[in-house]
């Protein structure tokens, strides 16, 4: 299964590399949200405090485009069915795609964070590895359930509308934890709250990465 997971991951990254317009589209989408929010904010002080939240709003909205496209590629010539019949273990398909979706989102996050420093005057008063931890686990928390729901809605009409309707309520706790954690790392964390938020994110990931992997076979197989 590990070999197949890595093969699926490699294929996903190859597709992203061959059509780089997708990831650049995601980046510009998230960047547009960050810039618009900067103009809407009443003062620089407020803007600085909101930086963490705005980052995660941008990433959450951009993720729906990324997840939708991830399965659109599979549906064009029925490739997802081809994977099942080849056969590739459905768990390998899930973990390969979820890892790729997480990596894509993480790349967008890493490109957006410097904008927050430049435009919002945000700074990291806490530890940079902890900030990276929030970015990694936050993106993963969107990536795993997003891949599962992406698979569910891929075969339905209006999948781009259905995906956020299903995904957003589920990932709200994780996005709240990521936003709050990012903010305390940026603003300073005298009360040591960051560890609790990071713990919540890790627990959310542990549950969703294991359960989504188990359920994915039911999503993509007939019967």
- If binding is defined by CB under 8 A, does position 79 make contact with another protein? yes
Give the separation between CA 161 and CA 40, rounded to whole angstroms.
26
Of the residues 1, 19, 24, 35, which one makes contact with another protein according to CB under 8 A: 19
What is the CB neighbour count within 10 angstroms for residue 48? Answer: 18
Question: Is residue 87 reached through a cis peptide bond, with omega within 30 degrees of 0 on the bond before it?
Answer: yes
Choose between 50 and 73: whose C-beta lies nearer to another protein: 73
**Exposure string (b/e) for 64-102, b if CB count within 10 Å is 16 or more?**
bbbbbbbbebbeeeeebeebbeeebbbbbbbbbbbbbbb
Using the minimum distance from each CB to another protein, give the nearer residue, 91 or 170: 91
Q: From the list 2, 42, 77, 157, which residue makes contact with another protein (rule: CB under 8 A)?
A: 77
Q: What is the smallest separation between the CB atom of 216 and another protein, expressed in angstroms?
A: 15
Q: Does 83 bind another protein (CB under 8 A)?
A: yes
Residue 215 beta carbon to another protein: minimum distance, rounded to whole angstroms: 17
Query: DSSP readout, 15-53?
Result: HHHHTTHHHHHHHHHHHHHHHHHHHH-S-HHHHHHHHHH
| By the rule CB under 8 A, 218 interacts with another protein | no
Can you give the length of the chain in residues? Answer: 223
Query: With respect to another protein, which residue has the nearer C-beta, 72 or 124?
Result: 72
Query: Which of residues 63, 64, 73, 159 is near another protein by CB under 8 A?
Result: 73
Interface residues toward another protein, by CB under 8 A: 3-4, 7-8, 10-11, 14-15, 18-19, 73, 76-79, 81-88, 222-223
């Amino acid at each position: 299964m590990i070999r197949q997971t890595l093969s699926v991951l490699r294929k996903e990254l190859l597709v992203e590399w061959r059509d780089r317009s997708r990831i650049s589209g995601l980046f510009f989408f998230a960047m547009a949200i960050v810039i618009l929010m900067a103009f809407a904010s009443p003062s620089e002080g407020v803007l600085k405090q909101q930086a963490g939240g705005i980052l995660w709003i941008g990433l959450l909205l951009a993720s729906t485009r990324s997840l939708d496209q991830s399965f659109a590629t599979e549906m064009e010539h029925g490739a997802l069915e081809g994977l099942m019949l080849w056969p590739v273990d459905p768990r390998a398909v899930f973990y390969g795609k979820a890892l790729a979706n997480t990596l894509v989102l993480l790349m967008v996050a890493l490109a957006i964070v410097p904008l927050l420093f430049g435009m919002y005057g945000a700074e990291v008063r806490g530890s940079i590895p902890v900030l990276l931890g929030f970015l990694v686990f936050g993106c993963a928390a969107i990536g795993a359930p997003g891949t599962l729901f992406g698979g569910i809605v891929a075969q339905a009409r209006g999948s781009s509308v259905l995906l956020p309707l299903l995904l957003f309520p589920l990932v709200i706790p994780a996005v709240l934890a990521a936003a709050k954690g990012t903010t305390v790392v940026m603003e300073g964390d005298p009360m040591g709250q960051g560890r609790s938020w990071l713990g919540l994110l890790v627990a959310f990931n542990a549950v969703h990465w294991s359960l989504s992997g188990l359920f994915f076979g039911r999503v993509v197989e007939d019967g």
